[in-house]
Structure formats: C-alpha cells, structure tokens
Chain A
Amino acid sequence: MRSFKEFHPLTQALFFISVLIATMFDMHPILLMISIIAAALYTGYIGGIKALLKTMELMLVTSIMIIIINPLISHEGITVLAKLPDGNDLTLESIIFAAAAALMMSGAVYWFYCINRTFTSDRIIYLFGKITPKLALMISMTLNFMSKFKSHLEELKAARYSEKTSSKLINSINIISSLLQWSAENAVDTADSMKSRGYGLKKRTGYTRFKLTSYDVVYMLIILLADFYLWLLISTGNLSFSYYPFFEIESNGITAMSGYIVYAVLCVIPFFTDVKGDIKWRYMTSKL
C-alpha cells in the first residue's frame, strides 16, 4: 500500500535511471510515446494539470528551437518538401526527427518533474552516502546553510531597506557581501561544533532511516528483468527503427509487441502503485 514516494531510494533510483536511459538514449518512436505518456500520467497524478502545463511551458522554447533548427541544418531524407534559400532541401524526415527529439526532451523533463517530487533531498543524501559519505554530509550541511541564509537574507533586506544613497544594483551586491561575511564568520562555530562532536576522528558510519523491504526487492527485480528484456530486444535488432533516409518502424512482430508491453509495464510502475494504494485504502476505510 506504500506509494511510490515511500519506496526505498535504491528502488526509486533504479527505476528512474532505467526509464531515463531508455528515454534519452533510444529514439524508438513507440517507446518514446510510451515513456512520455507514462511520465505525463504520473506528473498529472502527483502535480495536477498545473504541473503538466508548467512543465510543458518550460519545454516549449527548446522544442520550437529544435523543430526550427534541425530542418535547417540536416538535409537527409528522401521526401523533399521545399528548397531552402541556401539551395539545400527541406525534408519531411528532418522535421519528423526534430519532433521526435522534442518529444524525447519533453518526456525527460516530465520524468525529472517526477524525480523532483518523489526523490527528496534525504534520498539524494542517502544515495551519495553510499558512494561518498563526505559529500552526502556536505549536501545536508549546505541545505541547512541555505535555510539559515534565507532567513538572514530577509533580515538584511530590511536592515538595508532605508539606504537611499545607493542604487538597487549596488544595494543587492552589498546585501550579498554582507551575507558572505555573516555566514562565513558564523560558520566557524559550525566547524567547531563539528570538531567538538568528534567529526573526522574515526571512520563514520552512515545512519539512515530507510529500510530495504521485500516489497522493494520485488520491484527491483521486476525493473531489472524489464530492463534486461528491453535491451536484449534492442541489441538484437528486434526493436529497430530509422528516421533517415525515410521514417520507418521496422519492428512489428510479436517480439516487438512484447517489448512495448514490457516497457509500458516498467514505465507505469509509479502510477500503478499509487493508484493501487489509493483504491486499497478507500476499500479498507469503507469497510470500517
């Protein structure tokens, strides 16, 4: 009944790495469609229409740029639509490719929205802590400093508010300068406090509140199996496609179909677990 947000960071990381690699490295049109639909579905589920539109807005400029620029510089493809002023061809294939690229970027950005919402800072710290404990601690410290600085920044703005002598730009620079001084001077205490509590004397253990449950292991196995099957199909050419010289999806057989299904199953894991959890919860509370 756990929602995806509460999964163990390793499970989450494995999932996101799998879908991101598949989305960003393989331009298969159907796989792309599956990925973007699943990503948008989950984005909409956790962030509502607002998140969907906002993320879309973010990608619009980049997408338009890709769609305009690619046909201007790439002249491959056999379907010529028009002649460009510099004498090169404007081809349908280059536009389709650009559209696919824009779609891919949007899909990636939707996935990143999901990452930002579910893979919270203590999960990042946990993952870093596995590889490099020092950096993990530093991330946590930086987050603490940021919240301290934020409240002091408000105070600085108030303290410097009535300075009419200088321009806004100079005033802003003075504010940062003052913040630099204040924060670095105070941080001496932080360093002393760390030393006083024995930092750096011994090899640190990393305390974490995350526990790998059997539930997580099952999901990890599912993800790994799906990954394995998908990349097996890709590397054996069962999921091949081409944009140039002409747009074609060469894989239509049952093997390819099974690949699509496996990929779809992989991509909807977050949405599926959350919805399943919701339904189960409602069912349970309604019986009470």
Chain B
Amino acid sequence: MKDRYGLIFLVVLALTGIGAPLLNQAVPEGSALYLSPYAMTLIGKYMCYAMLALAVDLVWGFCGILSLGHAAFFALGGYAMGMYLMRQIGGRGVYGNALLPDFMVFLNWEQLPWFWYGFNRFWFAAAMVVVVPALLAAVFGWLAFRSRVTGVYLSIITQALSYALMLAFFRNDMGFGGNNGFTDFKDLLGFDLQATRTRAVLLALTALALALSYIACRALVASRAGRVVRAIRDGESRTRFLGYRVETYKLWLFIISSVIAGIAGSLYVPQVGIINPSEFAPINSIEVVIWVAVGGRGTLYGAAAGAILVNYAKTILTGALPEVWLYALGALFVLVTLFLPTGVIGLLPDRSEAS
C-alpha cells in the first residue's frame, strides 16, 4: 500500500525536528528567523500531543475502541519520567534533602516509599515509562475485552479509570506529590533542563519519537494484523468466526497504544516542566478524541495533524479569549462530525489508498 501523505508527514516532521532546533541554536537572537525557546517548547508539546493522538487513532480509528482514558497512559508515562527528574534534584531542593523530594520532607516522611526505589536511574525510569502504562492497559484490557465490553460501555469505563486515577493521584498519601504533582526539575541525564540547548535536543528527540511511532503504527495497520483489526471494527463476531481471537488482538493493540501514549507523556514532562494529577482529567482524554476526529480518524497522519491544528488553535484562542475555548472546542467537534466525517484530511485529493 502506498502511503503518500504519510511520507509527506514524515518529511515535514524531519524538517521540523532538524530545522526548529537549528533556528533556535544557529540563528542569532533578534534575527527574523530566530525561534524563541517558548515557540520551541510549544512545538515540542504539540508533537507529544500528536503522539497521543496517534495512540488514540490506532485503537479508535482502526479498531473502533473509543478510549476516553488515554490521557491516563500519557500521565503515567509523564509521572514515571517526573519521578526520575524529582530524584535528580537531590540535595538541590528547597529542603536540601539528598534522598527525599521536597514534598515528602514537607509531609514529614522519614524514608523513601518502596515504589520510588530505582527511579534515581534513568534506564529504570525509562523502562517504567513503557511498563507501567502497558501493565495497566494489559490488566484493564484483559478484563474488559474478555468480558466483551464494547462500544459506549467501554468508553465509559475507560473514562472512569482515568477519573479514579486522578482522584488517587490527588491524595498526598499516595506519594506522588498530591495536587501539586512534580515540578522545579533541574536536569535530565546531567543536562540542564533550563538550557535552550537541552530543549533543542529534546525537541529533536520528540520529533524522532513521533516519527518512529508513526512508522510503527503504519507497519502495524498495513500488516495482516492491521487488516484483522479493521475487520474487527467492521464485524467483530464475524472475525471471531474466522478463527481470530478478537480479545487478544484488541488487547495487543490497546497495549501498544498505551505504550505510545506513555512515551509521549515522558517526553512532555521535561519540556513543559510540570506534571500534576489534572493530566488525568476526563476532559483531556476527550480532547484527544476531538483532535483525532478533526484530523481524520483511521489515517494516523490525520490524527497527528489534527492534534497539532487543534492545539495551535487552542494556544491562540486561550491567549485571546480564554473563556471561549471550551465552547469553540465543542462546536468544532459537532461541526466536524456533521460536515467533515473524514476530518480535515478528508479534504485532501486522492486518498483512495487510506481506509
């Protein structure tokens, strides 16, 4: 299968991933071409969102699993990275405790909770970025898909899952910093997070991660497994009669999707410099679904483009008229559903190869 627009997407991504850091590092400040650190952070953030949109499109666009809880996987990946960044602060915190993060000292905790062990090592945190979302997706998916929970019921329980996690992470005694979450990060693998050079590298890495996620998702949906997944979307029991174990297919797809979302979250946190329980909020997951719908579901590149477009609009609108944003978002969703069922991407010519 040809993937012309996917190729264009990857080229644009490569240009951004190389170009944006260069415009920041190599161009002198004050030049018309100079890219501010603020703009760079925005681009990096958008690309993390685009990865999250890819993850949602993979399960929703191709398999019809409308997850309203994907922000939870994103946030868990973010928290895993945040725990590493917190422990990197070490003795430089306000209380100067080399072992305990500030919020634990503030709560008069004597020792590090067991689940914080290992997060002083980057490889361990990086592994957790993948393992924690995958485990949650595996347990949740195994229970839900095995019981053949589908459609709106599945959407509701994914939403409930995310909400429950939000409430849990808000609690101080959970050991994740309560409603303040984690912030005031200092460095990542020894590189200063305030330095624009570190930010430039992070942006390039995010572009790379987004490109690799796209290629992986694309390889998956273009394989026979991808065709089985689309078959499940169009006729679940029919697929079962062909001898495919529908539950396992959905489960693997859900796990892969959750891992992409987790990695996106882990790249998001060092760039925006904060993670707190509001990342689990139901509205976040719903927004992702809107990005995908606006961009065009079942295309991957459409989902990524939708995430970037809607978030760019959000940045501009919340700057100009903050109280209007949620109405605009709702209206956008209704209008796209009514008039552009294939999303903005559907306006492009010659997309016959996509489905």
Q: A and B bound?
A: no
Chain A residues within 8 Å of B, Cβ to Cβ: none
Chain B residues within 8 Å of A, Cβ to Cβ: none
